[in-house]
Amino acid sequence: MRIKPRGSQFFQLLADAAANLVTATALLRDLTEAPPPDREAIAARLHEVEHAGDDLTHTIMVELNSTFVTPFDREDIQALAARIDDVLDFVDTAADLAVLYRLDKFPPGTDGMLRVLCRAAELTAESMPGLSKVGELSPYWIEINALENEADHTYRRMLADLFQPGADALEVLKAKEVVEQFELAADGFEHVADVVQTIAVKES
């Protein structure tokens, strides 16, 4: 008989961290749809969400150092918390750059990319409470992988549109940096799913 592990607080902490991603991606979507004068206030709210995510990551690390028996390997809990925090950083950076660069408009494809990011955040948040039965989460990482492939395709199209002849070089460079953060966030969601899949393999 397998002894039930202690340290179940990690499930709630990771679920809270993932829920933060839903808020963050929704704010980023709002920012991309808002007129330039309204973006700074939205970016400020997103930055508060990012700070809350940092606090959650810190709490998880403190708990790791004070918990004798954890639900699964310590390095996997640490990796999962760090990968979730990475996504939040990419989303926050995208918003910050858009405001700092005074981006006039977002390139075509932004709405599709934000749809992918918001869906990936929802999937991640829905799946984290299921870590106690991680072997049942295969639909989660399969869909995340499909979304990341869609994001890659969208990212390439966005770059192609940006580098059309006659485009303003400075505006292209500013938009490109923001779009790269979108892509990094999409990749980051896949990295979160990869850690979950690794845990599932170890627990099987």
Domains in the chain, start-ordered, CATH in brackets? 7-203 (1.20.58.220)
What confidence tier does 202 reach under pLDDT thresholds 50, 70, 90? confident
pLDDT the model gives residue 67: 78
pLDDT surpassing 70 at residue 6: no
- Residue 94's nearest CA partner among 56, 46, 155, 48 is 46
What confidence tier does 64 reach under pLDDT thresholds 50, 70, 90? confident
Q: Are 163 and 172 in contact (CB under 8 A)?
A: yes
pLDDT the model gives residue 4: 38
Name the residue with tokens 């007129």. Answer: 35
pLDDT surpassing 50 at residue 194: yes
Chain centroid to Cα 60, Å, comes to: 17
Task: Kindly give, in sequence order, each residue whose CB lies less than 8 Å from that of residue 90, ignoring residues fewer than 6 positions away.
Answer: 181, 182, 184, 185, 188
pLDDT digits (tens, 9 = 90+) for 97-127: 999 999 989 999 999 999 999 999 999 999 9
In DSSP notation, 143-168 reads HHHHHHHHHHHHHHHHHHHHT-TT--
9-41: b (≥16 Cβ within 10 Å) or e: ebeebbbbbbbbbbbbbbbbbbbbeeeeeebbe
- Please tell me the pTM assigned to this model: 0.93
pLDDT surpassing 70 at residue 7: no
